[in-house]
């Protein structure tokens, strides 16, 4: 084996570096790793089947819609009444359902089909226009069962919506003193309200109940799948495949690059596939596709570096699978893939941010629940890139030690 390395060095020195030869060797490593990965039923199950099943089960069990259904009857038909219902529909605590008659609302409340009902009686628009729109004096009737949680939720949402509409009307009357028409002043007030509601996350676009589990499983299973594939690198070491690559000759840098590229392609493909399933099947939505794409790449690169490092340290494929599984699950628990880090003590939250998974979950949270843009997740992307660079550098050093220095 030592002679092979000596001959390889002399050949490389005399033949010089060839971009075409390096590219050919790189593609050969990528193809070999791809065939090995696709032929491993464990990887297919962990990477594709298991995460979808977990998202479905957890979403059905714990992710149900917690909003109270409220039946509404518009007996006024004014612009103020339409605005009242529009604002109520943006509330994150209630779901508005239109009814034609008050009796139907009362019947469905008694049957338990509705948490409560709201009737906007004739004269609501006139009350608002005349400045009599403060809560308790306008023509809004609540239909519900006293003491019930649904009725309390609806009463709070109705009071907030009514106050907002009354405030918009008052602002419009004040603007009229400055020479503006009531229609222009009211439109401006409503645009300002809508902007504030969007900023607070009350824009009527309620997240899918699968949002958290879908995004958490992307992070968890990209790490788990790629760490499990470290067994392939161990097998390549034990079967002397790496030694034959170096005798080709292929430099240690080419060997490392080949395994990095193949693992990164696998991770990105898996991440995109799981996100597509979350979007098409489970209705999960993101507010920055560029941010999501960069995040998947950053997560895959960090997981790739960890996978290659485990592959240089493990002594057998079974040991690599066991170690990779433990590391992925431990990192997932610490990093918030099992439960939100907002719900754990600050010390555990700080410890969790020693893992790349925590930074990835922070970024997904901003993109999904906070309607963030790619610029708002740049700090998290930078930290993930730092993890990737550090792990890849350490793994490359270990490849040189384990393969070149120790004879594979």
Choosing from 146, 180, 199, the residue where a domain stops is 199
Total number of domains in the chain: 2
The pLDDT of residue 33 is: 63
Q: For residues 40 and 130, state if they share a domain.
A: no
User: Mind giving me the DSSP string for 8-57?
Assistant: HHHHHHHH---HHHHHHHHHHHHHHHHHHHHT-HHHHIIIIIHHHHHHHH
Of 3-12, 294-303, 310-319, 360-369, where does mean pLDDT reach its minimum? 3-12
Q: For residues 56 and 90, state if they share a domain.
A: no
Q: For residues 297 and 389, state if they share a domain.
A: yes
Mean residue pLDDT across the chain = 76
The pLDDT of residue 2 is: 41
Judge contact between 73 and 89, C-beta under 8 A: no
Q: What's the domain range around 104?
A: 68-199
Residue 240 backbone zone (phi > 0: left; psi -120 to 50: alpha; other: beta): left
Mean pLDDT score, 264-289: 81
The structure tokens listed for 104 are: 């139907």
Mean pLDDT score, 331-339: 89
Rounded to whole angstroms, how far apart are CA atoms 279 and 286?
Answer: 9
Q: For residues 159 and 242, state if they share a domain.
A: no
Q: For residues 44 and 123, state if they share a domain.
A: no
The pLDDT of residue 199 is: 52
Q: Which residue has the higher pLDDT, 30 or 115?
A: 115
How does residue 36 score in pLDDT terms, banded at 50, 70 and 90?
A: low
Of 62-66, 277-281, 296-300, where does mean pLDDT reach its minimum? 62-66
The pLDDT of residue 380 is: 93
The structure tokens listed for 233 are: 């690198």
Q: For residues 19 and 81, state if they share a domain.
A: no
Q: For residues 221 and 358, state if they share a domain.
A: yes
Run of H or E including 143: strand 140-143
Cα separations in angstroms, 203 against 77, 200, 282: 23, 8, 20
What confidence tens digit (pLDDT) does each residue in 129-175 have?
776 655 445 688 888 877 677 778 788 888 878 888 887 777 777 66
Residue 30 main-chain phi, psi, to 5 deg:
-65, -45
Three-state secondary-structure class, residue 120: strand
Q: For residues 376 and 314, state if they share a domain.
A: yes
Choosing from 179, 199, 219, the residue where a domain stops is 199
**Residue in this structure with the two tokens 């494929």, named with its chain if needed:** 317
Mean pLDDT score, 103-110: 89
How does residue 334 score in pLDDT terms, banded at 50, 70 and 90?
A: very high
Choosing from 199, 218, 252, the residue where a domain stops is 199
How does residue 295 score in pLDDT terms, banded at 50, 70 and 90?
A: very high
Q: For residues 14 and 75, state if they share a domain.
A: no
Q: For residues 159 and 15, state if they share a domain.
A: no
What confidence tens digit (pLDDT) does each residue in 184-241 have?
766 776 777 666 566 545 554 555 667 777 888 889 989 988 888 888 778 777 766 6
Q: For residues 270 and 323, state if they share a domain.
A: yes
What's the pTM? 0.61
**Residue in this structure with the two tokens 């009514």, named with its chain if needed:** 162
The pLDDT of residue 12 is: 41
Q: For residues 325 and 193, state if they share a domain.
A: no
The structure tokens listed for 309 are: 């490092």
Q: What is the CATH number of the domain that holds 81?
A: 3.40.190
The pLDDT of residue 150 is: 73
């Amino acid at each position: 084996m030592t002679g092979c390395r000596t001959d390889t060095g002399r050949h490389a020195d005399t033949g010089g570096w060839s971009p075409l030869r390096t590219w050919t060797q790189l593609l050969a490593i990528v193809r070999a790793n791809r065939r090995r990965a696709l032929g491993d039923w464990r990887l297919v199950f962990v990477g594709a089947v298991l995460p979808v099943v977990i998202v479905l089960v957890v979403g059905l069990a714990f992710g149900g819609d917690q909003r109270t259904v409220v039946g509404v009857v518009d007996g006024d038909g004014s612009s103020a009444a339409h605005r009242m219902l529009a604002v109520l529909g943006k509330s994150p605590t209630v779901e508005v359902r239109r009814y034609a008659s008050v009796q139907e609302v009362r019947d469905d409340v008694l049957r338990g089909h509705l948490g409560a009902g709201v009737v906007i009686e004739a004269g609501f628009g006139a009350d608002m226009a005349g400045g009599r729109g403060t809560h308790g004096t306008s023509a809004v009737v609540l239909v519900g069962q006293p003491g019930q949680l649904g009725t309390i939720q609806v009463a709070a949402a109705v009071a907030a919506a009514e106050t907002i509409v009354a405030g918009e009307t008052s602002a419009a009357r004040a603007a009229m003193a400055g020479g503006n028409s009531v229609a222009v002043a009211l439109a401006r007030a409503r645009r300002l309200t809508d902007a504030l509601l969007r900023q607070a996350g009350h824009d009527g676009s309620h997240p899918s109940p699968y949002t958290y589990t879908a995004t958490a499983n992307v992070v968890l299973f990209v790490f788990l799948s790629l760490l499990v594939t470290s067994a392939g690198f161990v097998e390549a070491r034990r079967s002397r495949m790496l030694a034959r690559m170096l005798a080709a000759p292929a430099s240690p840098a080419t060997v490392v690059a080949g395994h990095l590229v193949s693992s990164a392609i696998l991770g990105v493909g898996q991440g995109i596939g799981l996100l597509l399933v979350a979007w098409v099947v489970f209705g999960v939505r993101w507010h920055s596709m560029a941010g999501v794409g960069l995040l998947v790449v950053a997560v895959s690169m960090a997981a790739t570096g960890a996978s290659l490092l485990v592959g240089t340290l493990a002594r057998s494929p079974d040991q690599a699978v066991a170690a990779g599984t433990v590391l992925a699950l431990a990192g997932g628990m610490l990093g918030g893939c099992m439960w939100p880090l907002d719900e754990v003590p600050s010390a555990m939250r700080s410890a969790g941010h020693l893992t790349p998974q925590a930074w990835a979950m922070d970024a997904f949270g901003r993109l999904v629940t906070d309607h963030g843009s790619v610029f708002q997740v740049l700090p998290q992307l930078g930290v993930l890139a730092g993890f990737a660079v550090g792990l890849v550098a350490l793994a490359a050093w270990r490849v040189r030690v384990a393969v070149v220095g120790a004879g594979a």
